[in-house]
Amino acid sequence: MSTIRGIRSSDVLPQPGFTATRQENGGYIGRHSFAVLRTAWGGSGVTGRFAKGTPITSLDPDLSFSWSFLKVVEAEVVSEEGDITIVSVTLSGAQGASYGESGEAPDPTYRLSGQLQDAPLSLHPKWAALSEIFRWALGELINGNRRPSKEFTQVGTYDEEDFFTPAEDTSSAPITLTGDAIEFCKIIARGETTYLRPVITWTESAQGTDGLTNAQLSKLGNISTPRGDPPEAAGTRDWMLTSAFQEQNGEMFTTDLEWTLSEKGGHDDFLYADA
């Protein structure tokens, strides 16, 4: 069997510099490199040993078996002088499940996020406090079926030629607005039909050898109490599990569960309570 610099065509020689980094959620990422003959790379006997999912201890038996959970994710091949090829592998893995028997992650991290999102004016708390007739009139204004008076104190049907004069042939009398309904009328007359409302989310991230469980996925869209130490849902507010994310890198899973805080009054129990 031909040899170059003492390396045989079937050899995979570990190089110095194995590294492994424990991430904040308990998973590990690592790197290791190996020398092989340039002419040997591409043959199934060598290339196949770097297959995705191969334990690093199979490639480097001198490493402690405790590192066997680290598996090959990808391999980078660089040709060196002297017919040598260096194969650098990226590794990932975890020593335990993402969620234990209790359903809780062993090394979770939590993130609180708040942002403003557009929402219809009809979802504003001050809109909800209006009388039914005011809400209907303002809704007609938004839909273009009614128009405001010059002082924004009435909503009705008006002539095109004289915008603020009630049409003689209207079949319904103008509706007189008061209080907050007048302010909404002014806003709608400016062409604004949405407002910015705060949306608060609480996210749990975890890593491990498995992904999200059926029990967790079944709670998506249900009122649910987040784990960790989220801000207290004061008064009539509550939390709903609104997002579930899973990503697999080799044999390591990264998962995110996200809860969203309700407006005052909470989420609708009839629609979103866990059956």
Read out DSSP for the chain? --EETTEETT--EE-S--EEEE-TTSEEEEEEEEEEETTTBTBHHHHGGG-TT-BHHHH-TTS-GGGTT-EEEEEEEEEETTTEEEEEEEEEEESS-SS-TTS--SS-EEEEEEEEEEEEGGGSHHHHTS-HHHHHHHHHHHHTSSEE-TTSSEEE-B-SSSTTSB-TT-SSPPEEP-THHHHHHHHHHTT--EEEEEEEEEEEEEEESS---HHHHHTTTSB---SS-PPP--TT--EEEEEEEEEEETTEEEEEEEEEE--TT-S-HHHHS--
Which amino acid, 143?
N
Q: What pLDDT does residue 167 have?
A: 47
Amino acid in position 128 = A
- What integer pLDDT is reported at residue 274 of this predicted model? 82
Residue 134's pLDDT is 95
pLDDT of residue 153: 92
Q: Which residues contact 116 (CB under 8 A, 6 or more apart)?
A: 196, 197, 198, 199
Rounded to whole angstroms, the Cα distance separating 36 from 166 reads: 90
Give the pLDDT score at 95: 86
Q: With contact defined as beta carbons under 8 Å apart, do 252 and 92 qualify?
A: yes
Burial 85-113 (b: 16+ CB within 10 A, else e): bbbebebbbbebbbbeeeeebbbbbeeee
Residues of the chain falling short of pLDDT 50: 1-3, 161-162, 164-165, 167, 169-170
Rounded Cα distance, 41 and 83, in Å: 11
pTM for this predicted structure: 0.72
Question: Two tokens at 172?
Answer: 């319904």
